[in-house]
Amino acid sequence: MKKNILVTGGAGYIGSHICVELLGQGYDVTVMDNLANSNEKALRRVEEITGKKLRFYEADIRDRSAYDEIFSQNEIYGVIHMAGLKAVGESVRKPLAYFDNNVSGTIVLLEKMKEHHIKRIIFSSSATVYDLTQGECLTEKSPIGNSTSPYGRTKLVIEQMLADLYHSDARWSIVMLRYFNPIGAHVSGRIGEDPNGEPNNLMPYITQVAVGKREKLNIFGNDYDTPDGTCIRDYIHVMDLAGGHSKAVRKLEEQGLFIYNLGTGQPQSVLAVVHAFEKANGLKINYAIAPRRAGDAPKYYANADKAKTELNWEAERGIEDMCRDSWNWQKNNPEGYR
């Protein structure tokens, strides 16, 4: 019988690409999403891309009765927990909303999983859990903590909670995936990143300038101790990231607590990404240098050797693929899913 994976937040940017990957790998997919920062059209397009159906429940991760419905109507093998608020700046302004949604929502999910005897979970974590003052090349053993935002602290608290849960009951299988900087889109151009309001991330800002929605890209600081003065990050294609999840589902066959970085290990500066986008797509991007943002680390990137060794996973797509696929999505969907 095919394994059925529940993806919380599955209608979002990363979640929709994970659904494509899972369906392509032969899994059944059930999605739970409250559509607060996503669109149900993404799920219809996932079905169009894969030629396969998924089940969708519009519900909040804090809704206990929704889990009873989902878990009683579907034989769920394991959960990929993606749902959460994720805007760093907004988290500084609304910390209680972030802790309520991200942490309280995860507690409700775990309680309901336990009640329904489902003890396999992959958690969508983040490189923001690392103490970025302690080094640039981050391994899973690098120091964590000292997060610069409430968003990052919610990821850290959930990781610690999952570790405590495992230590209380070793029958759990828990995989924590620390994402670096996902960009790009499915090669079809049918699904991609569609932020509500002003984008918080670099690539959708670039593509919105390219499509004429925004006048210029603001680059925050060009006086960092990096070769061109702009911040350096580890950008990873969203479909490579999605592939890491299907490999992690196989890891759920083992009981244990596992942590993996998902990144390329080949960092790029903000300016380098802008120039790569221009080169890949034959476009010019209007940009201006703005003051530094509080809390931005000059440089950090992944060491993803552990994922390669234990999950047989590594990123395959380069920065030009990420830029080309991002533009393919945006130019074909200038208003996103709207």
Hey, which residues are catalytic here?
151
Partners of residue 124 on adjacent β-strands: 177
Asked if 303 contacts 137 with a C-beta cutoff of 8 angstroms, the reply is yes
Q: Is 245 helix (H, G, I), strand (E, B) or coil?
A: helix
Report the distance separating Cα 134 and Cα 143, nearest Å.
7
**Tokens 């995989």, residue located:** 175
Asked if 213 contacts 282 with a C-beta cutoff of 8 angstroms, the reply is no
Pairing label, strands 217-220, 287-290: parallel
* Angstrom distances, CA of residue 20 to CA of 42, 163, 172: 10, 29, 26
Secondary structure, 3-state, 159-220: HHHHHHHHHHCCCCEEEEEEECEEECCCCCCCCCCCCCCCCCCHHHHHHHHHCCCCCCEEEE
Report the distance separating Cα 16 and Cα 239, nearest Å.
10
Would you tell me the crossing angle of helices 270-281 and 202-210 to the nearest 10 degrees?
40
**Tokens 């083992």, residue located:** 254
Would you tell me the crossing angle of helices 319-332 and 202-210 to the nearest 10 degrees?
50
Partners of residue 191 on adjacent β-strands: none
Burial degree of 298 (CB within 10 A; 0-12, 13-18, 19+): middle
